[in-house]
Structure 1
Amino acid sequence: MAEDTNPQEKQFSIQKVYTKDLSFETPNAPKIFREKWEPAVDFNLGTHVDKLDETVFEVTLTVTITVKSVDITAYLVEVNQAGIFTLEHFTEQEMGPMLGSFCPNILFPYAREVVSDLVAKGGFPQLLLAPVNFDALYAQHMQQVQQQMAGSSSIN
């Protein structure tokens, strides 16, 4: 009798991708449209994971952008782009990179499109966000977590 030595096959699927929340503000309109356009962009990313059941997760990518021109805030954009993902038979070590890098990488093009559309509809030149290396961001985050853990254990 042959033993079943094959581990269970990993399964990943996208159940849903959706815009969970968005905000666009032009606090200095219409004055900003009369000023010289010299944009300075402040760009921030964040992720949040909610476990919906044993193998289903909601991952939310938050993109926040503030654009100033000549030290006047032109606009602020915040987009929470979310997805529901099924991940089965992944190890604990694999789950972190899947949820912290792979899933946000899937969501980013959707968020990028929402930002571009909002900015254009707000009356400003199109803003195309550059691609993001979520693998590098996740690695940097994990390094910071390890440093914080090492720092807190040396205090004791």
Structure 2
Amino acid sequence: MTENGQTQGARFALERIYIKDISYEAPAVPRVFFEQASPQLDVQLGISHTAFSAQDGLFEVVLSVTASAKQPERTLFLVEVHQAGIFRVSGVSGDALSRTLEISCPSILLPFVREAVNDLVGKGGFPQLLINPINFEALYDQKQATLKEQKDQVKQ
């Protein structure tokens, strides 16, 4: 085993991609189509992962995106998509496994969730909503720094 938890027989494979949950609401339609107000857009992201079959190295990773367009007095639309994948990851452990599940896997899922969100918003009659590229490595490093800070505060 190498220093970072990776062995020479490391394996990474995508087994399946699927939508786990999807929701679209547009409570202000159709009245909003005839107004000129510009909405406030908000996009939230979440990543979760579980061992689906640990002995086989199978993990489910879910990339959740919630996108909304709001005006001060109402919501124009709200979209939530949980894009999931089954990944086979073996020969890695510790930090290397966490990095794989929270960086590599969501990077693969991002184009699929981006397409699903854009399609739902467009089919709802609104202009395209394109999710910008996401630096999952920076998000992971930020999460780890926050966890370290919390641990340090508990020790004090």
1:111 and 2:113 correspond: yes
**Shift in Å at residue 146 of structure 1?**
0.8
In the TM superposition, what are the counterparts of 1:1-156 in structure 2 within 5 Å? Answer: 7-54=7-54, 55-69=57-71, 71-154=73-156
| Aligned amino acid, residue 87 of structure 2 | F
- Counterparts of 2:147 and 2:32, CA distance in 1: 41
The structure that is strand-richer by fraction is 2
Structure with max Cα Rg: 1
- Deviating beyond 4 angstroms after TM superposition, the runs of 4 or more aligned structure 1 residues are none
- 2:4 is matched with none
Share of identical aligned residues, percent?
Answer: 41
TM-score scaled by length of structure 1 = 0.90
- Counterparts of 1:52 and 1:30, CA distance in 2: 43
| Aligned amino acid, residue 35 of structure 2 | E
Name the CA shift for 1:48/1:114 in 2 (closer, same or farther; >3 Å).
Answer: same
- Counterparts of 1:148 and 1:53, CA distance in 2: 31
Runs of 5+ unmatched residues, structure 2: 1-6
Q: CA RMSD in A?
A: 1.3
Runs of 5+ unmatched residues, structure 1: 1-6
**Shift in Å at residue 50 of structure 1?**
1.1
TM-score scaled by length of structure 2 = 0.90
**Shift in Å at residue 30 of structure 1?**
1.7
| Aligned amino acid, residue 49 of structure 2 | V
**Shift in Å at residue 70 of structure 1?**
5.8
- 1:4 is matched with none
- Counterparts of 1:34 and 1:74, CA distance in 2: 12
| Aligned amino acid, residue 60 of structure 1 | V
CA contact (8 A) 1:36 1:69 kept: no
